[in-house]
Amino acid sequence: MGDSVDIIEPVENPTDATEPVSVEQPSEIVYMSGIRLWLAGLGLALSVVLPALEVSIVSTSLITIGNALNDYDQISWLVTAYLVTYTGFLVIWSKLCDLFGLKPTMFVSMVLFMGFSAGCGAAQSMTQLIIFRAFQGVGGSGLYSITTIGFIQMVPPTRYTQITAVASSLMSLGMILGPLLGGAINDGHHWRWVFYLNVPAGFVALVIVMLTFPKGFPHTHNRDKEKTTPWILQIVKKPDILGAFLLLGASILFVAALEEGGVRFPWNSAIIIVFFTVSGLLWIAFFLWEWYASREGSLVEPMFPWRFFSNRVWMGTLLGCFLSGAPLTIAVIELPQRYQIVNASSPLDAGVKLLAYAAACPLGVVMASMATGRLRFPFVAVMLLGCTLQSVGFGLLSTLPTYTENWNGQYGYSVIAGLGTGSTIGALYMLGPIAVQKKDQALAIGSGLQFRMLGGALGIAVMNTVLNSYINSHLPLLLDGAQLIGVLDSASRIALLPQELQDEVRAVYGQGYNLQMRVTLAFSAAVLFSIALVWKKKPLRLGKDGRLE
């Protein structure tokens, strides 16, 4: 098995590593080949699908879980609690992977993910479930970040096109399978298995990774400094833990204010104002700390080195990751809920209906990867096409009929939106690792993922605010006090209303979901700002040698 590992001398630019050398050097990169590459790729594939699956699998389960635990008002927290912690720890995990290697960090993150997945399945109240989902997100964050780095660093830069297409398609595959699997499980009223299934699947993935990856991957030798520095000091000094927790706190408070404002607390209430104010202060503290940590001689490796701000292409890529994360997450989470509430679909039917979007999205990713890689189309051109398609698609989805009967035209709209989202994400995924220096590659990958998930968390919080504000202002005009409380506690109680009243209530929800799609259109169109930053007089494209030219 040792014959299946190629050692390539590291270079500053990630596209310069092409020639094998026989001289051992610190931090040499281990590239894999043969059966070992395929087995290691299988382990990473399963590891990256699981956390991606957890983002979307609850989309067709939210209604069932809310009904089972009699707490429909708080179901949106099952998504945002996972996404916020998932987002907050991505860069920390990527730094720990760079420091200690893939295998030990993968082991810890997988154990966390499996353990709290089991906790979610055993939860007896919505509060317990939300807490376990938050900790599950910490483990899922590690899996997502570490496997993405593993995919990029297990092959030479000349094969980035193929490996990024595979990796990004697997993430999208998790998004596709989630609603279908969740719908199938919930049709049998066994929602707890939405979380329990991660335990056996995670164990299999962990065993494969532990057996196939070489010790110390991606470095054949520890750096001299790391060999002489106690491991506890490496943890404290190198990763930007303070920066991570400032970002986490700022994100949680901001999302919490959006989630609870207008639902449990008025927008002008003291607690919402305090949440927004403290969040703003934490954002300011975060950027000030990152500036300070970026000074010469600092013992801390900042999450966002100040040199990133002078790289216009990278800043455009980062903004694009943030803005494209919102439409993807919104569509996967909100469309199945629309199908269940407005069209009275079962969880499985809702998952099947989402396929039009969910299957088109990875197709768009593959098309973008091929266009920017093999065909060498400019990144800006592919991003502009993706931005246009997803803007048109979500604009059309905002015009859907609000009656209960299914209208087949929505599937065509979903395909357009899915192709656009996938094309945008695929182009950004290709551009991210090669827009920075080699020493910043792992950090750039983690940052891109972090901002994409942060965009998704923000998008879901905004969408829930939009929907809740709309139905809370319109349903009281149709329902009496007892009926209103019943419907807001459990959407299943809509079916207990007289038929004419049912249709009117479902129409109100339909109009609310259409309003969500109009706001999603704004997120989609805003990608133009990212394109403007990436734009150059000579459009950037991937060279034949893997360089950005």
| Tens of pLDDT, residue by residue, the chain (549 residues) | 444 444 444 444 444 433 443 334 444 555 666 787 788 888 888 888 888 788 778 877 888 888 788 777 777 788 878 887 887 787 778 777 777 788 889 999 999 999 999 999 999 988 899 999 999 999 998 888 788 778 777 766 666 656 666 666 666 666 667 777 888 887 666 889 889 999 999 999 999 988 888 776 655 444 444 444 444 444 445 667 788 788 888 888 887 887 777 667 788 889 889 989 999 999 999 989 988 888 877 777 777 788 888 888 888 989 999 999 899 889 988 898 899 899 988 888 888 898 899 889 888 988 888 888 777 788 889 999 999 999 999 999 999 999 888 899 999 999 999 999 999 988 887 787 777 776 777 677 767 777 887 888 888 888 888 998 899 899 999 888 888 888 887 777 888 899 999 999 999 999 999 999 999 999 999 999 999 998 887 777 776 655 666
Q: Give per-residue burial for 517-538: e unless 16+ CB within 10 Å, then b.
A: bebbbebbbbbeebbebbbeee
Q: Do residues 254 and 308 share a domain?
A: no
Residue 456 has a pLDDT of 86
What is the C-alpha to C-alpha distance for residues 99 and 217, in angstroms, rounded to an integer?
10
In a domain, 487, yes or no: yes
CATH of the domain at 220: 1.20.1250.20
Q: Do residues 313 and 296 share a domain?
A: no
Q: Do residues 128 and 254 share a domain?
A: no
Domain region containing 234: 2-239+301-534
- Residues 83, 116 contacting (CB under 8 angstroms): no
Q: Do residues 157 and 288 share a domain?
A: no
395: its two tokens: 């604009």
In a domain, 545, yes or no: no
Residue 217 has a pLDDT of 67
Q: Do residues 270 and 130 share a domain?
A: no
Q: Do residues 313 and 412 share a domain?
A: yes
Q: Look at the chain and report how many structural domains it folds into.
A: 2
Judging by beta carbons within 10 Å of its beta carbon (0-12, 13-18, 19+), is residue 411 exposed, middle or buried? middle
Given 276, 300, 324, the domain boundary residue is 300
Given 277, 300, 323, the domain boundary residue is 300
CB-based contacts of 71-75 (< 8 A; 24+ apart in sequence): 71/125, 71/126, 71/489, 72/488, 72/489, 72/490, 72/491, 73/263, 73/264, 73/488, 73/489, 74/126, 74/130, 75/126
- DSSP, res 296: T
Q: Do residues 325 and 449 share a domain?
A: yes
In a domain, 549, yes or no: no
Q: What are phi and psi of 89, to 5 degrees?
A: -110, 5
Residue 518 has a pLDDT of 96
Q: Do residues 222 and 293 share a domain?
A: no
In a domain, 332, yes or no: yes
Residue 195 has a pLDDT of 92
What is the C-alpha to C-alpha distance for residues 379 and 398, in angstroms, rounded to an integer?
29
In a domain, 204, yes or no: yes
In a domain, 364, yes or no: yes
In a domain, 547, yes or no: no
Name the nearest CA neighbour of 492 among 505, 476, 477.
505
How far does the chain reach from its first CA to its final CA, in angstroms?
37
In a domain, 539, yes or no: no
Q: Do residues 229 and 339 share a domain?
A: yes
Given 300, 323, 348, the domain boundary residue is 300
Q: Do residues 268 and 402 share a domain?
A: no
Q: Do residues 285 and 319 share a domain?
A: no
Tally Cβ neighbours within 10 Å of residue 364: 27
Q: Do residues 131 and 274 share a domain?
A: no
